[in-house]
Amino acid sequence: VDEPIPFDAVIAILRLSNKYDIHPFRQKSIQELKKVFPCTLHDYDSIYPNDTYTTLSWSHIVKSIYLARACNTLELLPFIFYILGQVSMNVLFRSHAILPRTEMEICLLGREKLQEMRETVAFSYLIDPKSSQHCLNPTICEQQRLLSLNALISERFHAGTRALMKADLETLEMIFCRPCAEEKLSIHLAAREKLWNDLPSYFGLGTWEELRSAQK
Ligand SMILES: [Zn+2]
């Protein structure tokens, strides 16, 4: 029996098991929440292979912040704030009544950081002008790099905070020659891993390890 438990039920179970200190139920509900709010990059990639987060309502996301703080499951927070960073400013500001000011501040500061990171870390493969030593046609690769960079900059206000967006070899080969694409891919994957590792710090939450040990 491993069907997903409805989100509201998971929340209720975590609250109760936390209140009455029922360890197995608490663990189970945390496990369920991690299927929505991943705590490793590996889990993120299997849960959100296309980087779209449509399964959760806005009110569930806000409820989850309260829950994570109240039940000391802080490990869930970096991803909750990451998703919150995808919400439009318009929606965010209309929610000031349900989202406390302190959480709003964390969200906005993190959002700014994500935007910066998206450009400097997640897309470092477009910013770094270095072609592969084995490049098949440096002039074309450089030209393609600049075109893609230009496209990225002009669309950044639409997808500005989706810093974890993943590129694959197929996509990169549409821009670069094969040897360049392979090198750019490994730069991209390393940068993305760094971004994931630093994610808690964007929201003033320290490191993943600190969050993990704080909730035991
Ligand atoms: Zn090349």
When pLDDT is averaged across residues 139-166 and rounded to a whole number, the result is 81
Ligand 1 ion: Cβ-proximal residues, 5 Å cutoff: 131, 135, 141, 177, 180
> pLDDT tens for residues 114-148?
888 887 777 788 888 889 999 999 999 999 999 98
Residue type, 135: C
Residues in CB range of 152: below 8 A, 6 or more apart: 119, 123, 126
Structure tokens at 18: 């936390």
Q: If you measure from the C-alpha of residue 133 to the centroid of ligand 1, how many angstroms do you get, rounded to a whole number?
A: 8
- What six digits make up the tokens of 146? 């600049």
Using the mean position of ligand 1's atoms as its centre, give its distance from the Cα of residue 168 in Å. Answer: 16
How many Å apart are CA 34 and CA 43, to the nearest integer?
8
What pLDDT, on the 0 to 100 scale, is given for residue 128?
Answer: 84
Instruction: Give pTM, 2 decimals.
Output: 0.85
Measured in Å, residue 161 CA sits from the centre of ligand 1 at 28
pLDDT digits (tens, 9 = 90+) for 1-47: 456 678 888 888 888 888 888 888 788 888 888 989 999 999 999 99
